[in-house]
Amino acid sequence: MGGAVVDDMPPGVKAPDGGWGWAVLVGCFVITGFSYAFPKAVSVFFKELIREFDVGYSDTAWISSILLAMLYGTGPLCSVLVNKFGCRPVMMVGGLFASLGMILASFATSIIHIYFCTGVITGLGLALNFQPSLIMLNRYFSEKRPLANGLAAAGSPVALCCLSPLGQILQYQYGWRGGFLILGGMLLNCCACGALMRPLLIPKRPQELDKSTPRAAEEKKPQPKKKLLDFSVFKDRGFVIYTIAASIMVLGLFVPPVFVVNYAKGLGYEDTKSALLLTILGFVDMFARPASGLIAGMKVVRPRSVYLFCFAIIFNGCTDIIGSQAKDYGGLVVFCIFFGMSYGMVGALQFEVLMALVGTEKFSSAIGLVLLMEAMAVLVGPPGAGLLLDATHQYMYVFLLAGCEVTLSAVVVTLGNFLCIKRKRQDLEDKLEMAVTEAEKERLNCGAEGEDDNKGEKDPKGKENGNVGAVKAEEMMIVEEMGKEGRKEE
């Protein structure tokens, strides 16, 4: 049987929850690893760049900042391109951009050239891969989606554990220019991952069935043009609450991994021992993400995944606050273990909750808008923590600020859920009760009319049944609306 290629997953196509979806998951795993780990892995070349171009550390730090800003800030652009051209071509072009940026950077003659090549071009290429890969993962998995999200998110710590040592080896063997050139070649694997994103297929029906079935006639009608960027997601209270909370969370979420090594150095420990803290954090994170996805996929937990997400955020915030009181290396090791657990939980659940809130149809627009809002927080968070460190010269206050910001985001989610979404659901219940009362009155009126006209009408019950049917249809619409709101709330 042949099939028609579909990239936007119409309602008639069911997510396969396996099959080729596992290949899509592998591609998403690799893309997630490159996207999140690459800005950190590039930092191993900073000392060579400082020596080569005679600049300061703050100048080289802009390379990672621009990479992250492009990854998050180009979210709406990625949404428009995906809705217009589909995921596969966007990802393959993005892979070419990511590779081209690093190759051009290997010939740079000033730090400005690296800003543009590595920061802008490579950052745009990674963005054009990261967002479409998550969209395709959402289309291929439904029942197993939490587990798939957890496994894909594990690509970040795995890639970080591999790329950072690899970068040091390349720098030692070939210098920073040779290292950039080889990393650019590695990023061509993004094109291979993009090729894995095969659109779903709609099985074709026989022609004779097509002509006779009402559904076929419905499909032949011209479909409304799909919006390139759907701003109607902001009408969803759950999405607005999620976006606000995620933006606050990102202010402090990435701060501890940036400062924990220097925290240990400030306590007097050597560089190698201090750098081991990030390895411990990444190792725990590597197993926490798929484990969190497995737990979120359980029948009892999945309808309440938003509460599990809240717990993960509070866990992360409290870990930061308690870890700020660490006075020795052992305390920092314990902090990294618990931070890795909570950080992995947040990483595995953040996009799963967003997918559950907005659904498959609007996810491509929703993720772009969320990433744009988070981009502003990413640019403010770590530099703001750095300013606080310069003012106080105490890492304790940096970790306390990060913990308070993350915990505040959990409070926003919890209060928004109870005060806004619960109230809306109560309003729908009141509407349903009123509709039932009106339906009972309508039945009595129809019954009275039927008794008066039972001899003068051919089908005295037809009118009654028609009226009651209309009322029942109205009841069903309200029930369906309540069901949708309930699912969004969960």
> What pLDDT is recorded for position 181?
93
471 in a domain, yes or no? Answer: no
Percent of the chain with pLDDT over 70: 77
In total, how many domains does the chain have?
2
Residues 416 and 301 reside in one and the same domain: yes
163 in a domain, yes or no? Answer: yes
> What pLDDT is recorded for position 300?
86
Residues 293 and 336 reside in one and the same domain: yes
Closest CA to 102 of 44, 164, 38: 38
Residues 117 and 163 reside in one and the same domain: yes
> What pLDDT is recorded for position 213?
53
pLDDT over threshold 80, residue 410: yes
Residues 399 and 255 reside in one and the same domain: yes
CATH code of the domain covering residue 280: 1.20.1250.20
Distance between CA atoms of residues 144 and 313, nearest Å: 23
Residues 77 and 172 reside in one and the same domain: yes
Residues 20 and 125 reside in one and the same domain: yes
Residues 126 and 271 reside in one and the same domain: no
Q: Which domain holds residue 62?
A: 15-200
pLDDT over threshold 50, residue 467: no
Contact 210, 216 (CB under 8 A): yes
Which among 179, 200, 221 is the end of a domain? 200
Residues 272 and 339 reside in one and the same domain: yes
461 in a domain, yes or no? Answer: no
Exposed (0-12), middle (13-18) or buried (19+): which is 453, by Cβ within 10 Å? exposed
Residues 251 and 120 reside in one and the same domain: no
Distance between CA atoms of residues 381 and 327, nearest Å: 24
The string of pLDDT tens digits covering residues 55-110 is 876 677 788 778 888 888 888 888 888 888 888 999 999 999 999 999 999 998 88
> What pLDDT is recorded for position 2?
34
Residues 180 and 242 reside in one and the same domain: no
The string of pLDDT tens digits covering residues 472-481 is 444 445 444 5
pLDDT tier at 424, thresholds 50, 70, 90 = low
394 in a domain, yes or no? Answer: yes
The string of pLDDT tens digits covering residues 356-397 is 888 777 777 788 888 888 887 777 777 777 778 778 888 888
Over residues 340-368, mean pLDDT: 83
The string of pLDDT tens digits covering residues 432-444 is 455 445 555 555 4
> What pLDDT is recorded for position 160?
80
Over residues 235-246, mean pLDDT: 85
400 in a domain, yes or no? Answer: yes
487 in a domain, yes or no? Answer: no
pLDDT tier at 283, thresholds 50, 70, 90 = confident
> What pLDDT is recorded for position 223?
56
pLDDT over threshold 80, residue 313: yes
CA distances from 41 to 63, 354, 426 (A): 11, 28, 50
Which among 157, 178, 200 is the end of a domain? 200
Residues 61 and 106 reside in one and the same domain: yes
pLDDT over threshold 70, residue 469: no
Contact 72, 372 (CB under 8 A): yes
Distance between CA atoms of residues 194 and 225, nearest Å: 25
Residues 196 and 253 reside in one and the same domain: no
The string of pLDDT tens digits covering residues 120-136 is 999 999 999 988 888 88
Which among 428, 445, 462 is the end of a domain? 445
91 in a domain, yes or no? Answer: yes
